[in-house]
Structure 1
Amino acid sequence: MEKIRVVIADDHKLIRVGLNAILQLENDVEVVAEAENGIEVAAILKEKVVDVILMDIDMGIPNGIDTTYKIKSDFPDVKVLAITQHEERDYILKMLEAGASGYLLKNCGRDELLAAIHAVVNGDSYFSQSVSATLLKAITDLKSAPKSSSKADNPLSDREIEVLRLIVQEYSNVEIAEKLFISVRTVDTHRRNLLEKLQAKNTAGLVKYAIEKGLA
């Protein structure tokens, strides 16, 4: 079985050591390197094959947000999973805009950490429960705000909006297919079309778009 190759990026050694100790116990995960800033992350990616980066936000200059932008530009296949103490909406949205596939808080447990790593490797997004609550509140706030967008601002069909809303609610492709009475292959097609139309890097990008447009 091929292992998931992980880089831990955090400017606090204690955090890196702790995460490394947890992941070393897993048969399907390998920590290939540690970094304490964005410069070290970039250097590692030039030398090693990496699947997932566990990314702190507060790493000095460049910070985790700027580092994520750079990574997704230069290494688009590498998944970024934010692990931070910040649960404010602005931090979450900035990381999603940068291209992060998931967002965890540093008080998460081992099981949630592993679930998040596997989710982003499989192309899904993952948010801590409180982060999901923050995103839902952002959606609610936008729904209650006056709508000024026109059809021209929203290139999606009614069916694509239906699929997008269910993606935001964290339904799997199989669950979306069952709910909308369509095939899983059709759901896959809608998801690809959404990514292409909205120029989103991943599912997290779709979530961000839905929040901004009040579509969820």
Structure 2
Amino acid sequence: MQGVHLKLTRDEQNSPAPASSIFTKLCSMWLNQPYGQVPISYDTYVKNNPALETILNNGPCITWILDLRTLHFSFLSQNVQEIFGYSNQIFKEKGLTYLNQIVHPDDVAPTWLRVIQNWQYLIALPPLQRKEQKLNIRYRIIKPNGKIMQVLEQSTVLQQDDLGHVTHLMGVCSDISLLEKIEDEILTTKPIGHKVKDLNTPVSDITQAILSKRELQIVKLIAAGYKSRDIARELFISFHTVNTHRQKMIEKTNSKNTGELIQYVMTRKLIKFD
């Protein structure tokens, strides 16, 4: 596949000034691909699967499917208002352009530059390898009340056309403001009775202490799609033990369900997939 490759100038790579130019380049890369036929139309696919739509709408984070051919969302979970403070409808109407408008001005250029760099790497890969690629980026958005929210966006390739061009990305956006606050407190606060070296302990080490090694093994398998009986066979423990660990992890992390538990460990990078 021959993808559109737009080389950035030295100024665009090193300066936050040309933010609008960088976003325009990214949009051009996506809009100008010579797209072919696609097997699934996600505009109707989710609506025709009520159970799937219910699951996506009730997750602990914003879930979206972006159509790169139009830069509009084929699907956007209904919790946008709850998490971002902006209506689902305005995102659906304006697409990616609206997200660009609410990103913190200081983060616009580095955020889209990171996406462009990853995209250029992606389209250089053979088509069969593209679905294996994932992108994690952090940026800030400004909410309607003026408050700043730290966002972790995790995305992956969802669909390619018959020519190998990527047509849809699927991702989630999580509010990690609390995690960022915890990191800041660890770096700037000197607790009474603690030595300075304690302040250098990574946040992942602190949060990881909440869950045992066995619990991390189990939650990694849960995140990979294993059922409790499969996990029991994999780890040579009983089905009851797996469910007991699952319930204790939900309680320890103050999660409402398994979905929030998985989001908890993934946003804190407590588990890694080979």
- TM-score, normalised to structure 1, is 0.38
- TM-score, normalised to structure 2, is 0.31
Q: Which one has the largest radius of gyration? A: 2
